[in-house]
Amino acid sequence: MEISIIPIASGKGGVGKSFLAANLAIALAKQGKQVIVADLDFGGSNLHTCLGLNNIYPGIGDFLRARNAKLKDLLVTTDEQNLKFLAGDVRSPFLANMHHSQKMRLIYNLKQLDCEYLILDLGSGSAYNTLDYFGMEQFGMIVTTTEHTSIMNMLTFFKHFAFRVIERSLPKNTFLEQNLRKSYNLSVNEEILTVRGLLDEISVIDPAVAQQAEQKWLSYRPRIVFNKCKDPNELNLLFVLENKLKHNLMLQADFFGCLPDDPSVSISFQQREALNKLIPSAEIAEDINLLADRIIRLWKQPLRNSSSLLLNNTKNIFEKRHKGLEN
């Protein structure tokens, strides 16, 4: 069975990343797909809450502590047909600081799981481990709101991700790698290091390695989902954001979805129950179903004019719902 891995990250906490991961997994399962959703938010695991499950299951922490453990033996069957859950670090503290060898073992074994979609709920922010899990696949999803602080944190995440991808493309334990790390430690009076500037520094020493690192970075095409949207005009920032991503970060990203600010989300958390069971008619539930359908049809291919498409589609949905309220 061919597996599509969807790592879901965010530049900051509180944007609805875990909620989206859980409910997107449920939506895909309802469409007949074999889905596993894994909690990789080490140090802050709460994905079980969004699924309506108790915090009692052994998970990734137990897998890493036991040499002969298998991830597939730790999968939890949920009430939702076709959906299985992999718990995080419930019984194993400090996994957020796991060793490199543990991380690589986990990545290898995650890729061996038998499913059509593997959704990874990652930690927020730009820790090395989070960046490396996000980099498991060419297409990853990042969740943000349209608030300025959230957008800035997302851009910071992408910048750190770029530096991490480039760094891991370099030969290990060489003068090139040492010089790269010096470039990170600029004084406050020096010009801010950019992705292009970093690649240019590498090119001065080894043009071939720089070209290889650049091609590796350009192979990534993340998908951005906006959450807690109150008005479609909030998405007017898409065109400026698209320009910043291309020129400041050399990044081509797709604007993949927009979810409304819906009080049903808070009710779901308060009741500790999955949204589709508690309030299946919620507007955000409908939009998550549309997002799941978009993933099934388009996940592994670039999107053209995604900024215009998302803005127009969101305006149409908001207008249709507003008219429905008036009637």
Confidence at residue 22, expressed as pLDDT on a 0 to 100 scale: 94
Confidence at residue 188, expressed as pLDDT on a 0 to 100 scale: 45
* pLDDT tens per residue, range 171-197: 876 666 666 666 666 544 555 778 998
Confidence at residue 56, expressed as pLDDT on a 0 to 100 scale: 78
**Any idea what the Cα angle at residue 246 is, between residues 242 and 251, rounded to 5°?**
105
pTM: 0.92
Helix axes 283-298, 263-271, angle to 10 degrees: 90
Is domain 4-155+222-326 given the CATH code 3.30.930.10 in the classification?
no
* pLDDT tens per residue, range 80-98: 999 999 998 765 655 666 7
Structure tokens at 243: 């320009």
Closest of 269, 258, 327 to residue 294, by C-alpha: 258
CA distance 225 to 209: 33
Find the mean pLDDT for residues 47-73: 84
* pLDDT tens per residue, range 163-174: 999 988 888 766
Cβ proximity of 132 and 164 under 8 Å: yes
Confidence at residue 11, expressed as pLDDT on a 0 to 100 scale: 94
Using DSSP's 3-state secondary structure scheme, residue 231 falls into: coil
Domain layout of the chain by residue ranges: 4-155+222-326
Confidence at residue 162, expressed as pLDDT on a 0 to 100 scale: 95
Residue 59, pLDDT above cutoff 90: no
Q: What is the pLDDT of the chain when averaged over all its residues?
A: 88
Structure tokens at 85: 């859950």
CA distance 63 to 87: 10
Give every CB contact of residue 297 below 8 A, 6+ residues apart in sequence. Answer: none
Give every CB contact of residue 273 below 8 A, 6+ residues apart in sequence. Answer: 52
- H helices of 52-193, in order, are 60-65, 100-111, 128-134, 148-168, 175-184
Closest of 295, 220, 281, 283 to residue 250, by C-alpha: 220
* pLDDT tens per residue, range 263-320: 988 888 888 888 877 888 888 999 999 999 999 999 999 999 999 999 999 999 998 8
* pLDDT tens per residue, range 109-125: 999 999 999 999 998 88
Question: In what order do the strands lie in the sheet containing 76-77?
Answer: 76-77, 83-86, 35-40, 117-124, 4-10, 141-144, 223-229, 254-260
Which residue reads 């597939």 in tokens? 72
